[in-house]
Chain A
Amino acid sequence: MDADRQLVTDVLGHRPGAFERLVREYQGLCWHIIQRMVRHPEDTRELCQEAFLRIHRNLGQYRFEAPLKSWIGQVAYSVARRHLERKRIPLLEDDGDGGSVLEAVPDGYDLAASAESDEQSGVLHAAIESLPPLPRMLLTLHYLDEMPIADIAAMTGLPEGTIKSHLFRSRRQLRALLEPCLGVAA
């Protein structure tokens, strides 16, 4: 928290290189949130930049009540969410019983190439890509960024129970997919 405070003070004081340091520090998180929700490389880059520009503009409003990471995550999530709303892409889709995940793989995803490179991870990649934007992003934050559920809740404004439920269902769905294909023990 002290490091965050110092970083924010440096940025607000126009210290040379401070904002670049902030971007470098949190670009991974921001990128994960936006990329997992939007999935389009160009859109991701633009939206990520937009999120950081918004952070730069409004950093004076940050009151240190939550970790800087959560505050930045909130901005990124809100930018990505608004983008999806504008494009009328639902955050959650009715995925039924989750039995046919591979059928929901998006058109742009190269399933064959992915599966050739490494069958097991290829199938898993395809299955992750097939999840709706919100669960896909929650999985990334929880498993890749190792964020506690409470922090994800603060960032997204969703109740912790809802997040746990999404994680539980996504994980079960992905695991169920791997079992018959690759013989993974459940």
Chain B
Amino acid sequence: MTLSPDPMDAFDAQLRDALRTLPGVTPPAGFARAVALEAERRAARTERAWLLLPGVAFVPAAWYASVHYGEVLAAGFAPLLRAPGGATSLDWIAVTAACLALSWVFAQVRPAPQR
């Protein structure tokens, strides 16, 4: 007994026709377009998540540092804060806000969607 399928004959043609005419054998119209759009959407979302990561990580890191190392940080920055024309605490807050804002802006920048 050979394990190969029999040579093509009338039954094979019939079988092929039956397979072709089975219900639901073709994807619905517009499927390719819908999938492509969904792929773009997910890729953009993933990219945004990665770009937001530094900003998201910065906030808890800053909070942890201020709680646990507040005194050390204050001592370390004291000369800078005391220096004439040096940065005030408000300046540091402004710098932090600027970092977060930049992170958000970068998250909005992504390749143009495929059309």
- Name A's B-contacting residues (CB within 8 A): 14-20, 23-24, 27-28, 31-32, 35, 41, 44-45, 48-49, 52-53, 56-57, 120-121, 124-125, 128-129, 139-140, 142-144, 161, 164-165, 167-168, 171, 174-175, 178, 184
Contacts and interface: CB of A to CB of B under 8 A. Distances in A.
B89 interface: no
Interface in B2-57: 2-6, 11-12, 14-22, 24-28, 31-36, 38-40, 42-43
B20 to A, nearest CB: 6
5 contacts: A20-B33, A27-B31, A168-B6, A175-B11, A184-B11
B31 A174 contact: no
A17 B42 CA distance: 16
Interface residues of B, number: 36
Task: Tell me whether chain A's interface is mostly helix, strand or loop, or mixed.
Answer: helix
Contacts of A53: 35, 38-39, 42
Interface of B: 2-6, 11-12, 14-22, 24-28, 31-36, 38-40, 42-43, 111-112, 114-115
B10 to A, nearest CB: 8
A128 B22 contact: yes
